[in-house]
């Protein structure tokens, strides 16, 4: 997700980060990847992890059989990369 441009996403709830506790996950290493127009965090990632990402919107609402949302496509790419690495290690062990 890092490096993506502006996007309009949909969500159907009023949940968000509790501002009293909001700094704790970021002090532990999460990074903010996206904010809404009011500055609220909408996406957070864990740097260095193949795909640890949380979003406060529903990417499946913007996907259909002809166009996959970048979050879902990114997850699938991470799965393929992980599977290929495991297969390579397994084959090398034979």
Q: What is the pLDDT along the chain (94 residues), one digit of tens a residue?
A: 445 666 677 666 667 777 777 788 888 888 888 888 888 888 888 888 888 888 887 777 777 778 888 888 888 898 999 898 888 777 776 6
Would strands 31-35 and 53-55 be described as parallel, antiparallel, or unpaired? unpaired
pLDDT, position 4:
61
State the Cα–Cα distance between residues 84 and 90, nearest whole angstrom: 10
- The CB-side HSE value for 76 (13 A sphere, CA atoms) comes to 6
pTM of the prediction? Answer: 0.64
pLDDT, position 80:
92
Strand partners, 44: 32, 54
């Amino acid at each position: 997700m890092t490096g993506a441009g502006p996007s309009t996403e949909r969500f159907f709830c009023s949940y968000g980060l509790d501002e009293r506790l909001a700094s704790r996950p970021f002090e532990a290493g999460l990074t903010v990847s996206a904010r809404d127009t009011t500055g609220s965090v909408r996406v957070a990632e864990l740097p260095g992890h193949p795909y640890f990402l949380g979003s406060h919107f529903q990417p499946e609402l913007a996907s259909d059989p002809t166009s996959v949302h970048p979050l879902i496509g990114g997850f699938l790419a991470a799965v393929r990369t992980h599977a290929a690495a495991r297969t390579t290690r397994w084959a090398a062990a034979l």
